[in-house]
Structure 1
Amino acid sequence: MDPLVSPGAELEPAELGRYSRHLLIPDIGMVGQRRLKNARVLVVGAGGLGSPALLYLAAAGVGTIGVIDFDVVDESNLQRQVLHGVADVGRSKVESAAARLAELNPLVTVRTHREPLTADNARAVVAEYDLVVDGADNFATRYLVNDACALAGLPCVWASIFRFDGQVSVLWAGHGPCYRCIYPEPPPPGAVPSCAEGGVLGVLPGVIGSVQAAEAIKLITGAGEPLVGRLLVHDALGQDWRTLRVEADPGCPLCGPDATIDGLVDYGEFCGTPAPGDPVEEDDGISAEELRRLLAERSAGRADFTLIDIREPAETAVSQIAGAELVPKGLIEADPDRLPPGAVVLYCRSGARSGQVRELLRARGRDVEHLRGGITAWAGEIEPGLPV
C-alpha cells in the first residue's frame, strides 16, 4: 500500500544518530523516517497492549503520539503493563505513560487524553490523528473505535488477548474488512470473561502489542504488507502463529454499499454492558456490610443461607471470603439444581457474573441474592489487604 503519511521536515543531527538503524533499512530509510516524524498515532489504552505499542512507537520516532485512558495504575497491572512501575501505582495511566515516553525519547510529542473514549468525543479525538492503535480490553470500546475510524476513513490496528491467545489485524473500511465485518454481533454479556476474570500471560501483551506497533510503522512508511484482510492468530502455549484471510462483508451495516450506520451509537446498549466511563446504575444486590452482618447472624444461628463463590478455582486460590462454598458459574448454568436448597448468596470478583446467575436462579423460583461489587467490594470495605 502507499505510505499513509507524507514526509516531514529534514531530520536533525540528533535524529540521524538516534534512528540510524532505521536509516540503513531500504524500506524505511531517510524518507520513511521523515514520514514517522510527521505521523500522528492515537493509542487507545495505556494498559497491556498499549504499553509495548507506545514504547516502540516512541522509540521509532513517531512524531506525535496520543494516548487516551481514564484509569489509574494498579499493582495488579505491573505483571504485564511494562510502561508503568511501582512508583506509578495510583497515578493516572496517561501521566505515567507520558513521563515514561519522554524519558525514552524526548524528540517525540506525547498528547494525553485523560478521559474515557465515548460516542460523544470519539470522532473529534480520532480526527486529530492519522491512524489508531486499539488496545482496548472491552467490546464496547472496540466497536466504538472501529466505527469512529471507519467513519473517518482511518486504519485501526486492532488486537485482543486472553490467557495464552492473541489476535491482530488492520481494520480499514474501504481497503478491507472492519471489525463489524469479522464480528457482526458482540457476544452475550458475561459469555467472554475479561483478563481480570480469566487471566492473561504477562508476556503476551508484549508480543501482540509489538506486532501492533510494527503494523503502524508499516502503514505510515508504506513498507511491507500490512495485515489488511488478514487476521493473525497467536497461541503462546503452543508457540504457533496462523494467518486467516478475512474479507469485507458486503452486507456490513457500517462499511457495506448499503450501510445504515452513519454515526456513533450507544455501545453500552449494543454490547449489553456499560461502556467505560458510562454511569452505572446502582445494583440492588446486598452490600459488603450487609453480607458481613448476615455472616455474623449465621454464625450466631439467627440466619440460614449458603454463601456461594461462583468464580473459577484459580481465582479462589488468590483469595476468598471465609465460609463460602465454591461452585463455578459454568457448573451452575449447566445444572442449576446442583446448589444446596434454601437461601443462597452469590459472589464473584466484581458482581457482574453473580448478578447474571442470580437472575437465572430467580427465574427458577430460588431465594437468591448476590454481593454488590463482589469480593473487590468486600476487600475494600470489610477486609483491607485481601488480594483481589
Structure 2
Amino acid sequence: MDATFLMNSLWVMISAILVIFMIGGFIMLEAGSTRMKNAGHIAGKTIVTFGLASLVFWAVGFGFIFGDNANFLVGFSNFFYSGQELEGMGLSSAVFFVFQLAFAGISITVALGGFAERAKLSVYLIFTIIFSAIIYPVVAHWIWGGGWLAEHGKQDFAGSTVVHLTGAMAALAATILLKPRIGKYNKDGSPNNIFGHNQVYTALGVLILWVGWFGFNAGSTVSVDGGFFGFVALNTNLAAGAGAVAAALISWMVLGKSDVPTLLNGALAGLVAITASCAFVDTWAAVVIGLVAGILVFYSARFFEKRKIDDPIYALSVHGAAGIWGTLSTGFFATPELASVGQAGLFYGGGFTQLGVQALGVTVSGAFAFAVSFAVLFGIKKALGGLRVTEEEEIMGLDMSEHGSYGYPEVFLAEENKKLSS
C-alpha cells in the first residue's frame, strides 16, 4: 500500500468529516431562521433524517449511483455495501463511500428545508427514505456515476446540480403541496415577514457551512496529487466572499438597509454556485460567479415570495437558483486547461456546446427531481390524510406537537406560569 493511497484516503476522510459537520451548520441555520417554538423539532428531525438517509444510502443508494451493470438510469451492484475495495479508486473504497454518503445527507437536508414549520414528522421520515433511495441516486448516477449526462460531458465538479438543485426541486414540490405557513400571507395576498428567532445562530450556521464547504469542494478532488485541492479551495472562498458582499450591497441599495439574512444567503449562494465550477474556472471567474449568485439570491427570494411560495430557509433561492447559475457558469467560464470534463466554455472559444450540455443537465435533472418528489409527496398526502400538522399544532409549535417537549423549556414554561398566575 503506497503513500499516495494512504494520503488520498486521509484527505478524503477529513473532507467527509467536514461535509458531515455541515449538518450541524444546517441545524443552526434552519433553527435560527425559524421560530423558537420549532427549534427543538428542527434539530431533532435533522439528526434522525441524516441517520435514516445514511442507512438507505448504504442499502441501495450507493449501488444505484456507482454500481456496475448500469443502464441509462442507475447502476446495479454494491448494495448493502460491505466495505470491500473497489477497482480503480486510488484511495480506500470505504472512505469514498463515507464521502459520498455525506453528500447524499446534505442533499436531503436541503430538500427538507422546504417542509419547515408545518410538516408532520412522519412525512419527513417517509420522504427521506424515497429521496435517498431513488431521487438523489438517479441524478447522481447520471452525472457522477458514468450515466448519460456524464457521457455528454456534463460539468458538475462537486454538486451544484447533483446535490443542491436536486434538493431544491424537492423542496419546491414540498412548499407547493404544503402551502404557506399560517400568517405568512394576508387576505389580499401581501406577505408578512415571519422572522427567525436568532440571527446569531443563523450566522454561525453559515460559517460552519462555509468551513465545511472546503471538504465539499476541495475534497472532491479525492486526491492530494499536485495539491490541486488548494486551488479549488481558493476559488470556493473567493466565490463565497463575493456572494456575501454582493448580497449585502444589493439589499442596501434596494431596501435602504443591509439585510442580515440576505447577506448570509449571499455567502451560501456563492458557495452553491461555485460548487459546479470550482475546478474548471480561473480565480477571477470565481469572483464573478459569486457576485452574480449574491445578486441572484436577493431577487429570487423576492420572486418566490410574491408568488406565495413560502420558503422559510430560502432553499429555492440559495440552492435552486444559485445551483442553476453555478451549473450554467461553466458553460461560460471553463478554461481549456482546467476542463478535465467536457469542453471549454463560451468565453474561452468553446462555443455554445458546453453551455448547451449544462442547460440540458439542469433542465432534465431539475424536472426529474421535482416531478418525482411531487408525485411521492402527493402519494404520502393521500396515504396519511395530509402532509401538514393541524392548525392548532402549527400554532402551538412542532416542538410540543411532534415531540412533547420544548427546545427552549425555560422560556415557554415561564410564559405559561405567567399566564397561570394572572
Fold shared per TM-score above 0.5 = no
Question: Which structure exhibits the higher relative contact order, with contacts defined as CA atoms closer than 8 Å and separated by 6 or more residues?
Answer: 2
More helix by share: 2
The interval holding the TM-score normalised by the smaller chain is: under 0.3
- After TM superposition, the score normalised by the length of structure 2 is 0.24
Higher Rg = 1
Structure with the higher fraction of residues in strand conformation: 1
With structure 1 as the length reference, what TM-score do the two structures score? 0.25
